[in-house]
Amino acid sequence: MEKLQIWAHPWWVNLLALIPFITYAAFRGRRSRLNWRQLTALAVFAAAFGFVEAAVVVYLRAATGLLPGYTGTLSDLRSSNGYRQEQSISQFPQSLLTIEVYREGATMIILVSVTLLAAASTSARWAAFLWVFALWDIAYYAGLWLTVRWPASLAELDVLFLIPVPWIAQVWFPLAVSSLTAVAIILCSRKQASN
C-alpha cells in the first residue's frame, strides 16, 4: 500500500479542495433553483457518463498494452493487478495522448452543455455543473473499480487531467472533493426545500 500524500501536483490543483466549502457558502443562503427532479436526472446522466469514461480508459489501457489480462475474461482482467496508473503517462503513445487531451476537452463541453440544458439561471447552472461533475467523477472511479479493480487503494496515484499540464494526485483527493461537493449541493437543496 502506498503512503498517503496530502498534496497534489502541480500545487494549484490543491485549491480544488476549496470547492465544496465555496459551494456551500455560495448556495446556502440563495436558491440554486434546482429541484429534486433535476438533481435526479443529472445524477443518472453523470453516473452513466462516468461509466462511459471509465470504459474509454479501460479501452485505451488495453490499446496501449498497459492492461495485462484484457484478452481473457472480466475476472482475468480483474485479477491481473498489473496496471500502474502513474507509469501510463510516460508510456502512453504521443498520438493517443493528444487524442486523450481532446477527449478531456470534449468531456468538459458535454458536462457544460448538459448543465446549460438543465437549468435557466446562472446560479442554477453553476450548481448543476458542480453536481454533475462531482457525480461523474465518483462514477468514473466506481466504473474503473467495478471493471478492472483499479484503484486497488485510495492512495494510488492518478492522472486527473492533462489540460493544461498533467494533474497528479492520489485517488482519495478527487473523490473527497467530489463527495464533499455533492454533499454541499444536497445540503443546500434540502435547506431550500424546507423553506
- CA geometry: angle 149, 153, 157, nearest 5 deg: 100
Q: What is the pLDDT of residues 111-144, one digit of tens each?
A: 999 999 999 888 899 999 999 999 999 999 999 9
Query: How large is the angle between the packed helices 94-118 and 122-148, nearest 10 degrees?
Result: 130
Average pLDDT for residues 157-186, to the nearest whole number? 93
Predicted pLDDT of residue 152: 86
Q: Where are the domains of the chain?
A: 28-194
